[in-house]
Structure 1
Amino acid sequence: MDVEKTTIADVLHIRPKIWGDQRGFFVETWQQERYAAAGIRLPFVQDNHSRSRGGTLRGLHFQRRFPQGKLVSVSLGSVFDVVVDIRPDSPSFGQWYGAMLSGDNQHQLWVPPGLAHGFLVLSEVAHFHYKCTEYYHPEDEGAIRWNDPDIGIIWPESPEILLSDKDRAAPFWREVRETLPHGETR
């Protein structure tokens, strides 16, 4: 597998080796020793799978006191996946990184704990997978507006953007920035 550091501290863009022939392909999506050698050493406690239709934008989500590290990938379709560094002591605080993840390229993104995360579905449908290092705590969830001008994410063109009511009402970065915990996480 090829592991690339990104512009965001500790975020890794992973390109697993794909073995393919006329029958299809095989890809190893997780192997503890190889991923630990790449720097992903936290234990995973929960796997999630979402199915979304084209134009769906989920995010930007995070947990305040129980931040989740996530190894994310797409098994069907394609998405533009985005992380925003919301760790106040990070050298890349307030910056974003985006990557195309698809069932065809099988790329993965390692999103360490303490980042906001979201994605936009670019295909007719997408199956998105998250391996998480912390359990989901709904009472602990936070969000940032997906199109916040202070963050300036450059999303790909989409004929429509489908948002949940919660994501549509998410606060702007300037409101969230002042409420972030400094070293108070579990």
Structure 2
Amino acid sequence: MLIEATELADVLVLTPQPFRDGRGLFTRTFDAAEFDAHLGVPGLSATFVQDSQSRSYRGVVRGMHGRAGRGEAKLVRCAHGSVHDVLVDIRPESRTFGYQQSFLLDDNDFRHLYVPPGFLHGFQALSPVADVCYRIDRPHVPGEDLGVAFDDPDLGVPWPQPVTVVSDRDADARSWRQLLETLRIEHEGPVRHFRPRS
């Protein structure tokens, strides 16, 4: 498994190395020993306690979601189809606070993201059907949910396709400025963008 840093501080891209032959392919989608060794934190992979999966249809946007308190770490991958995945760093002490970066996740490269606590996350389905799998290090606590509107102008996410469907929760989400006020973070201006990773 290839593990690479991204422009966003502490975010990693994990790319499996599938074995392909006339039958199709076989790949190891996650290796705890390699992951822990790369981060230099023995046992970190054992902190993941919940696996979830979503299915979305082309154009659907899910996001932008985050978590208050100590946040949550997660591994995100697209098991079927493809998605335009977006992260925004909301950690005030981070050197990349207020930056966003997008990634193509699909069922061809099986690339997935390690997202540490302190990020907004969202994606848009690019294929007719997209199944996204999440491995999360904390049980869900609804009262800690954070969100910013997917179309907030200060967030400025460049969704690659027309947005077809969002949940009521995402349609009613707060603005980037309201999130900063809630978190008591002083920051001027819109979110800045790193180049997309494909």
TM-score (normalizing by structure 2) = 0.86
Are 1:2 and 2:2 matched, yes or no? yes
1:181 deviates by 6.9
Are 1:32 and 2:32 matched, yes or no? yes
Instruction: Report the counterpart of residue 100 of structure 1 in structure 2.
Output: 104
CA deviation profile, 1:5-45 (whole Å, cap 9, x unmatched): 11110011121111111111111111111011222725101
Distance in 2 between the 1:137 and 1:52 partners? 23
Instruction: Report the counterpart of residue 144 of structure 2 in structure 1.
Output: 140
Amino acid at match of 1:153: V
Instruction: Report the counterpart of residue 169 of structure 1 in structure 2.
Output: 172
CA contact (8 A) 2:59 2:161 kept: no
Indicate the RMSD between aligned Cα atoms, in angstroms. Answer: 1.5
CA contact (8 A) 1:64 1:181 kept: no
Instruction: Report the counterpart of residue 156 of structure 2 in structure 1.
Output: 152
Are 1:128 and 2:139 matched, yes or no? no
1:52 to 56, 75, 82: 56
Distance in 2 between the 1:38 and 1:56 partners? 34
Unaligned ranges ≥5, structure 2: 186-198
Instruction: Report the counterpart of residue 21 of structure 1 in structure 2.
Output: 21
CA contact (8 A) 2:58 2:128 kept: yes
Are 1:78 and 2:78 matched, yes or no? no
Distance in 1 between the 2:51 and 2:16 partners? 19
Structure 1 vs Structure 2: percent identity of aligned residues? 39
1:151 deviates by 2.4
Distance 1:25 1:59, change over 3 A: same
CA deviation profile, 1:77-98 (whole Å, cap 9, x unmatched): 1001111101111111111111
TM-score (normalizing by structure 1) = 0.92
Distance in 2 between the 1:26 and 1:98 partners? 27
1:115 to 109, 112, 119: 119
How many equivalent pairs are there?
181
1:147 deviates by 2.0
